[in-house]
Amino acid sequence: MTMGASKGSITRIFLIESLAMGTIGVIVGCLRGYFTSSLLAGYQIDIPQMIYFGLTSLPFKADAMNYVYATTFYFIINIVAGVYPARRAASLGPVEARESE
């Protein structure tokens, strides 16, 4: 028990904070990607056909499944990246945590 908080509650606090910040990031990123691809969809950008396997121009189509894949991948990465600092913070004692500031 660290100053009234259990290891589980400290871990939970860190994971909730990680998910909150990451969720804001994925929402902003998806909106920005959607609006950018919508703006660029009106332009024709020609590319060499021999290099890009028959494509003559860049496709700027925003498919809904792309956002589902990106969000799923984000949640997996965010949980993995949030667990290590959460466990490390939960294992610190009050004196160690104060000295590392």
Residue 75 lies in a domain: yes
Residue 21 lies in a domain: yes
Residue 77 lies in a domain: yes
How far apart are the C-alpha atoms of 87 and 7, rounded to whole Å? 8
Residue 100 lies in a domain: no
C-alpha separations of 35 from 44, 57, 71, 88 in Å: 17, 19, 17, 39
Given a contact cutoff of 8 angstroms between Cβ atoms, the answer to whether 75 and 67 are in contact is no
For residue 92, give the DSSP letter.
Answer: S
Residue 40 lies in a domain: yes
How far apart are the C-alpha atoms of 85 and 66, rounded to whole Å? 29
Give the lowest-confidence range in 19-23, 42-46, 65-69, 95-99: 95-99
pLDDT digits (tens, 9 = 90+) for 64-95: 898 999 999 998 998 888 888 888 888 877 66
Q: Which domain holds residue 87?
A: 7-92
State how many domains the chain has: 1
